[in-house]
Amino acid sequence: MSIVSTGSIDAAPRKKRVLIVYAHPEPQSLNGALKDAMREHLLATGHEVEVTDLYAQGWKSAIDADDFLQHDPDRRLQVIAASGRAYAEGALTEDVRREQDKLRWADAVILQFPLWWFSMPAILKGWIDRVYAYGLAYGVGEHSDRRWGDRYGEGSFAGKRAMLSVTAGGWRDHYSARGINGCIDDILFPINHGVLHYPGFDVLPSFVVYRSERVDAAQFERLRAQLHERLDGLWTQAPIPYRQQNAGDYELPSLRLKSGLEAPGTQGFRLHLRAE
């Protein structure tokens, strides 16, 4: 008797896959607890989960010549060129290649970190710098006078979702539109738009814990419930409506937003949100 595959009629749908990239030196930290709560809930709701625990892995943060196995130490290091060559030839270090495999595997990526000096901890920035190789996260697609590559909504990670889960010491008011620290959406824009939307992710609104130093057991339970709700919406929640580079909103070759597309008075980062 021959067995002929008739496709996937009876096959169970593939479980959705989530990569959590976590940056905190203390396993018993609030960040560690949020990461554990996320992992448990995602597993309980039928996902496959991978965690990159940067401190536990002893992640090397600084990109340098050692990242490019075929680099000739007698020649000047040009990072972009070396990155592109090494990526194309499979000559990046094993730790970087493993993380790139996880990115390809994942349907969604969540970055869990404390806000340190208005940005991500250096170890997480180092994960981006080293894992986001030329040819994977940038330098993708046609580059010409008519087209600046596949980026900002297109690129290697198009079709995947991403979300930040961030703890901040400051108060919510301090991060409001008129708050002294600046608006949280502006502070996180370089990560959400520059690091995540650039290589193609659909970026969900960030999950932000304010006054994180004051979290107690009761508040943690409330945070856990809010986080569960966000995770339950991981595949259905509307992403931040960032404009796509190649969808006609920008002039060529300047890539300036065409005038008249924004709501009157809109300025700054908000220009790159579709007016809805």
Footprint of ligand FAD (CB under 6 A): 24, 29-31, 33, 114-118, 167-170, 212-213, 215-217, 220
| Angle (CA) 194 97 203, round 5° | 25
User: Closer to ligand FAD at the Cβ: 26 or 94?
Assistant: 26
**How far is residue 101 CA from its own chain's centroid?**
15
Cα 210 to Cα 207: distance, rounded to the nearest angstrom: 10
**What tokens were used for 23?**
């940056």
DSSP 250: B
User: Closer to ligand FAD at the Cβ: 49 or 209?
Assistant: 209
CB of 181 to ligand FAD, least distance (A): 7
Cα 165 to Cα 189: distance, rounded to the nearest angstrom: 14
For residue 241, the number of C-alpha atoms closer than 13 Å in the C-beta half-sphere is: 8
User: Closer to ligand FAD at the Cβ: 167 or 246?
Assistant: 167
User: Closer to ligand FAD at the Cβ: 100 or 165?
Assistant: 165
Cα 137 to Cα 195: distance, rounded to the nearest angstrom: 9
CB of 117 to ligand FAD, least distance (A): 5
User: Closer to ligand FAD at the Cβ: 118 or 235?
Assistant: 118
Q: Which backbone phi and psi does 156 adopt, to 5 degrees?
A: -60, -30
CB of 218 to ligand FAD, least distance (A): 8
Q: Where are the alpha helices (DSSP H) in the chain?
A: 30-44, 79-89, 94-105, 122-131, 184-189, 217-232
User: Closer to ligand FAD at the Cβ: 105 or 118?
Assistant: 118
CB of 243 to ligand FAD, least distance (A): 28
CB of 42 to ligand FAD, least distance (A): 17
CB of 28 to ligand FAD, least distance (A): 7
Cα 148 to Cα 156: distance, rounded to the nearest angstrom: 15
Q: Which backbone phi and psi does 213 adopt, to 5 degrees?
A: -65, -20
CB of 102 to ligand FAD, least distance (A): 23
Cα 181 to Cα 117: distance, rounded to the nearest angstrom: 11
User: Closer to ligand FAD at the Cβ: 68 or 210?
Assistant: 210
Residue with tokens 């969808």, as numbered in its chain = 247
